[in-house]
Structure 1
Amino acid sequence: MQLLTIGINHHTAPVALRERVAFPLEQIKPALALFKEAWSGRRALSAPEAAILSTCNRTELYCATDDRAARDAAVHWLSQYHGIREEELAPHVYALPQSEAVRHAFRVASGLDSMVLGETQIVGQMKTAVRTATEAGALGTYLNQLFQRTFAVAKEVRSTTEIGAQSVSMAAAAVRLAQRIFENISTQRVLFIGAGEMIELCAAHFAAHAPRELVVANRTAERGREVAERFGGHAMPLSDLPARMHEFDIIVSCTASTLPIIGLGAVERAVKARRHRPIFMVDLAVPRDIEPEVGQLEDVFLYTVDDLGTIVREGNASRQAAVAQAETIIETRVANFMQWLDARSIVPVIRHMHTQADTLRRAELERARKMLARGDDPAVVLEALSQSLTNKLIHGPTHALNSASSENRDSLIEVMSGFYRHGQSSRESRESPETRDARDEQAAPAASSAADSPSESSGSSDR
C-alpha cells in the first residue's frame, strides 16, 4: 500500500487558483464518493482510502492506494472535478509519496507549513477532514493511523517547543494594515461579515482597540448576534449589506460562500456615498467573498489572505529555533511511522504463512487420527506425525536454497539461519558436543530427502 498526498497551497499557487480548487465542507462527502468511484474502472486491487483537507491556504487529497499510477490519476480527477484544464493545474500541484506524505502531514498539523507559523487552527481543520472522511466511509487502516499519529506529533511539537510563542496571526496582521490606513481605529466603524472562527479572532483583535462601532452581518442571525454581543457590538441582517456598506470604514469578510457576496457595483456605490472617504477591506475567504476588481477602485484598500502573508512572515524569524526543534521531532516520528508501514506490508505474507501451516497441520492431524483409529501404535503415530510435519514445513525453505542462484544463496542462508537461531542456541547450550554431532548427522539425510522428494513430503496418504 502506497501513501500519497497531492495538493496546492499558498506556497505553490495564488489565491485566484486556490479558490477554484477549494471544496466547501458540504461537498467533501460526495466528492470522496466520486473519487472512489473513479477508481472502480482502474486496475487497482482495491478502492483507495482518501481524505480531503480544504482551507483558505490549501486543498490537499490524502490517499492510500495500491495503484502505481495514482499520482497522475488523482491530478486528473482533481482537474476534472473542478473543471480546470490539467495543464493549468499541474504546475502548481505537489505530489508527495510515502515518507514525504507523512512528513508533510506532520508539518502541516504542527503549524510549520502555515502562512502563520505555529498557528493552531489547522489541527481543528484536519480533524474535521478526518471526521468527514470517516463518515463518508473513505478512511481505512492506513490513513486512520497516519492522522492519529499526525495529531499526536502536533501535540508533542506544541507542548515541547515554543513554535506558537508570539505568533503573528492573520487577525493581528489585519489590524496592523488597518492602522496604516487609519491613524486611530477607535474612531472607525468596523463590519465583520460571517461568524466563523476566523471572524471571531478578527473581532477580538479589533475590539481590543475599542472601535466606534462593531457590527456582525451573518446569514444566520442568531449566530451573528452571539458573536457581536461577545465583543460589545451588535448584529445586522446580511441582506442589509448593500444599503449600509457605506456606513463602515473597515470591512472584514470570511464566509463559506462559493461565490462573491460583495460585487464591484455595490462597492462603487458605497464609495460614492462616502464622498470618497477610504474603505479598508480584508477578504479572508477562499473562494473570495469580494470581487477582485474592487481592489482597483481608487478609494478602496483591499487585501486578501495572500496579501496578509507578508506581514505575518515578518514575525516568523524569532521562532526559527523552535522550528529546528520541531523538525527534529517530526523526523523521528516519520521514521517511526515508516517502520510501522513497512511492518504492515508483510502482514499478508505472514497471514498466508499461518494459513498454509495450519492447512498442513490439519492434514497431518487427520492422517494421525486415521492411523490411531485402525489400531496403530500411538508412539509410531506420533513419530510419523512429527516427521511428516517437519518435512513439509522445511520443504519450502530447503527447495528455495537448492534452487537459489549463487549470488542469492548466501543471503538466503543468513536469513534462514536466523529462523532457528534462538531456539537452537538455547537447546544446544544444554547438549553435549557428542549429542549435537549425532543429531546433526541424523538430520542431514532427512533434509536432503525432503528437498529431493517434494511429492513424498507433501503427500497426505496413510502409511
Structure 2
Amino acid sequence: MSVLALGLNHGSAPLDLRGRFAIPLEALGRSVQGLRSHLARAQPEVAILSTCNRTELYVGLPPSACPRHALELAEPAIEWLAAHGGTSPDSLRSHSYFLQGADAARHAFRVAAGLDSMVLGEPQILGQMKVAVREADSAGALGATLHQMFQRSFAVAKEVRSSTEIGAHAVSMAAAAVRLALQVFEDLGDARVLFVGAGEMIELVATHFAAQKPLQMTVANRSAERGRLLAERLHAQQLPLADLGQHLQDFDIVISCTASSLPLIGLGAVERAMKARKRRPMLMLDLAVPRDIEPEVARLDDVFLYTVDDLARHVQTSGERRQAAVQQAEAIVSAGVSSFAQWLEQRATVPLIQALQRQTEDWRQAELTKARRALARGQDVDAVMETLSAALTRKMLHGALSELHGSAGPAHAQWMNSVEKLFLRPAAVRE
C-alpha cells in the first residue's frame, strides 16, 4: 500500500519538543509545498497535520508504485521534518514514528476517530484533520490516494462517534478545562476569566466557560478585529494584547492558546500580578504548543499552571471509563482499513486493464483493416468473417497457450487454473 505516515505526538515526544515542530495554520500551505518540493523526484501527494498534540506528514504514491520506491521517501521526509524542527534526523527518529501501508492508514483512521488523542474521543482533531486536507488540496498536493484515505477516515470517525460510547460521551479539552477550573474554584460565578487568543480552541473553551456564567470574561488577541468578534459573540470584554501585563492581576483564570513562537506571559509578569493580588490564587491553562506561558511560572505559590499535557492526564480517568467502547471502535477502524486496502488494490490494476484494452483494440482494428481489404477485393463475406474471427481467437489465446505448453510443475498447475478461470468458467456461467 503506497501510503506513508511520519510524525511525533504526545505519546512519543514531550511538549517542548512538540512545540518546535508545530506549524501554524497560516504557514501550513507553504509547508506542504516545501515538503512536496523536497520530495519532488517522486512527485508524491502530501498532507501535513499539525495540532497541539502532533505534527504528522502523510505521503501518498500511485498504487502501482513498488514498496521500494515508497521506502525511499522515508529518509528525505525525516530530513525535512528534522530541519523544520531545528534538530538532527537521529534525534527526531528517537521521538517519532514511521508507518507505511495499512499501518499508516490505520493510524490516520484512529487519529480522525479520536482513538489516538490525549483525551479519548475528543472531537476537535477531526476538524483539524479536515483543515489539513483543505490546505493540502489548496496547495495542489492532494491526489486520489490521500484524498480517498482521508475521506474514508472521516467516514470511519463519523461511524465511531455515532455508534459507540466514545462518540456519545467524548470529552473535549474544552470541557476538561471547565471541570478543572471547577475543582480549583468550586463556583465560577465570582471568577474573572481571561482568554488569550481567538482561535478555534479558545472559542471552544470560552463557549464552555460561558455556560458557567462567570462574573467576567475578557478576550485578548493580537488581531484586535478577530478578538472583537469573539468578544461580541461571548458578550465579553476586550483587552489589547499589549496591555496584558498590566492587567494580569485582575483575572482569576487565564487560558491561553495562540500560535506565538515565544511565550507571551513571562515569570516576571506573573510574579507582579500575584503580588498585586495579595496571594489570591490564579489558575493558568496553557493550551498552546509551543508554550504561551513560561514553565517557571509553575514554581510560584498560589499559581496553578497546567499545560495541554497536564490537562489530558487530569481527565484520563474519564477516558478509562470509556475503554469498553474502544474495542468496538477499533473494529470499525479495521473494517475501514480493509476497505481502503481493497480500493488501492483495485486501482493498482487500472494500468494493466488499460494496457489490455489497448492491446485488444489494436488487434481488433488490425483484423478489421484486413477484412475490409479482403471485402474490397471481392472475397466471399462468410470466408472473410471466418478469417477475422479465427485470427482474433488465435491472438487472444496465444499467450495463455504458450505458457501452458512451456511451463512445468507448480507453474504449469497455476497456468491451468488461470486458463480455466479466464476462458472456461465464464462461458459456463453465460450458458
Normalising TM by the smaller chain, what interval? over 0.9
2:145 and 2:186 mapped to 1: Cα distance? 54
Paired position in structure 2 for 1:60: 56
Amino acid in the other structure paired with 1:383: E
Q: Distance in 1 between matches of 2:217 and 2:231?
A: 7
**Secondary structure, counterpart of 1:163 in structure 2:** helix
Deviations 1:229-282 (A, max 9, x none): 444421111111122112222110011223222223322332333344433211
For residues 268 and 403 of structure 2, the distance between their equivalents in structure 1, rounded to whole angstroms, comes to: 79
Asked whether the 8 Å contact 2:160–2:167 carries over to 1, the reply is no
Distance 2:411 2:92 in 1: 46
Counterpart for residue 34 of structure 2: 34
Structure 2 equivalent of residue 49 of structure 1: 45
Q: What's the counterpart of residue 124 of structure 2?
A: 121
Scaled by the length of structure 2, what TM-score is found?
A: 0.92
Q: Counterparts of 1:259 and 1:362 in 2: how far apart (Å)?
A: 70
What is the rounded CA distance, in whole Å, between the counterparts of 2:102 and 2:125 in structure 1? 21
| Distance (Å, rounded) in 1 between the aligned partners of 2:14 and 2:344 | 34
- From 416, 420, 426, the equivalent of 1:413 is 416
| Match among 156, 178, 181 for residue 178 of structure 1 | 181
C-alpha distance in structure 1 between counterparts of 2:158 and 2:180, whole Å: 32
Counterpart amino acid of residue 21 in structure 1: F
Match of 1:70 in 2: 73
Letter in 2 for 1:49: E
2:400 corresponds in structure 1 to 397
Counterpart amino acid of 1:289?
Answer: D
In the alignment, the residues of structure 2 paired with residue 235 and residue 194 of structure 1 have an alpha-carbon distance, to the nearest angstrom, of 11
**What secondary structure is seen at the aligned counterpart in 2 of 1:315?**
helix
Q: Look up the match of 1:12.
A: 12
- 2:24 counterpart residue number: 24
> What residue number does 1:424 align with?
427
Select which of 99, 102, 107 maps to 2:110.
107
Identity of aligned residues (%): 53
* 1:426 to 1:298, Cα distance in 2 relative to 1, 3 A: closer
Deviation at 1:34, TM superposition (A): 1.8
Structure 1 residues 426 and 252 mapped into 2: Cα distance closer, same or farther (>3 Å)? closer
| Distance in 1 separating the partners of 2:168 and 2:100 | 32
Counterpart Cα distance in 1 of 2:180 and 2:221: 24
CA distance in 2, matches of 1:181, 1:375: 101
Please give the secondary structure, in 1, of the residue aligned with 2:254: strand
2:91 aligned with 1:88: yes
Which among 250, 258, 262 is matched to residue 259 of structure 1?
A: 262
Aligned to 2:322, the other structure's residue is in SS state helix
Selected match of 1:234 from 228, 232, 237: 237
Instruction: Choose 50-59 or 254-263, whichever is displaced more.
Output: 254-263
Q: State how far apart, in whole Å, the 2-side matches of 1:405 and 1:39 are.
A: 45
Residue aligning to 1:204: 207
Query: Residue 62 of structure 1: SS of its match in structure 2?
Result: strand
Secondary structure of 2:167's aligned partner: coil
Residue type at the aligned position of 1:268:
E
The 5-angstrom pairing of residues 40-439 of structure 1 reads: 40-41=40-41, 44=42, 47-65=43-61, 66=65, 67=69, 68-426=71-429
Cα pair 2:286 2:305 within 8 Å, conserved: yes
Contact 1:24 1:258 in 2 (8 A): no
Deviations 1:69-117 (A, max 9, x none): 2223321221123321111111121112111122122211111111222
CA deviation after TM superposition for structure 1 residue 416, in Å: 1.8
**Relative to 1, partners in 2 of residues 1:140 and 1:118: Cα closer, same or farther, differing over 3 Å?**
same
Q: Per-residue deviation at 1:226?
A: 3.3
Separation (CA, whole Å) in 1 of partners of 2:396 and 2:352: 16
Higher RCO (CA 8 Å, separation ≥ 6 residues): 2
Checking the alignment, whether the CA contact within 8 Å between 1:169 and 1:312 is kept in structure 2 is no
Does the 8 Å CA contact 1:64/1:142 hold for their aligned counterparts? yes
Name the aligned partner's letter for residue 59 of structure 2: C
Give the Å deviation of 1:426: 4.9
Shift of 1:136: 0.5
Does the 8 A contact of 1:117 with 1:164 survive in 2? no
- Match of 1:137, SS state, is coil
Q: Which amino acid aligns with 2:236?
A: G
- Aligned equivalents of 2:26, 2:194: Cα separation in 1: 27
Partner secondary structure for residue 166 of structure 2:
coil
| CA gap 1:48/1:248 in 2 versus in 1, 3 angstroms | same
Deviation, 1:345, is 1.2
Cα distance in 2 between the residues matched to 1:203 and 1:412: 68
Q: Whole-Å Cα distance in 2 between the matches of residues 175 and 375 of structure 1?
A: 93
Displacement of 1:184 after TM fit? 4.0
Say which is worse superposed, 208-217 or 360-369, in terms of deviation.
208-217
Distance 1:180 1:156, change over 3 A: closer
Q: Which runs of 5+ in 2 are unaligned?
A: none
Q: CA separation in 2, counterparts of 1:426 and 1:262?
A: 76
TM-aligned CA deviation for residue 315 of structure 1: 0.5
TM-score (normalised: structure 1): 0.86
Contact between 2:254 and 2:285, CA under 8 Å: does it hold in 1? yes
Residues 10 and 57 in structure 1, CA contact (< 8 A), matched pair in contact too: yes
Separation in 1 of the partners of 2:26 and 2:218?
27
Verify the 8 A CA contact 1:194 1:254 in the aligned structure 2.
Answer: yes
- The Cα shift of 1:299 comes to 4.1
Go from structure 1 to structure 2 and tell me whether the alpha carbon gap of 1:223 and 1:26 turns closer, same or farther (over 3 Å shift).
Answer: closer
Distance 2:103 2:51 in 1: 21
- 1:161/1:326 contact within 8 Å kept: yes
Consecutive unaligned residues of structure 1, counting only runs of 5 or more, are 430-463
Classify the secondary structure of the residue corresponding to 2:57. Answer: strand
Counterpart residue type for residue 156 of structure 1: E
> Secondary structure at 1:252's aligned position in 2?
strand
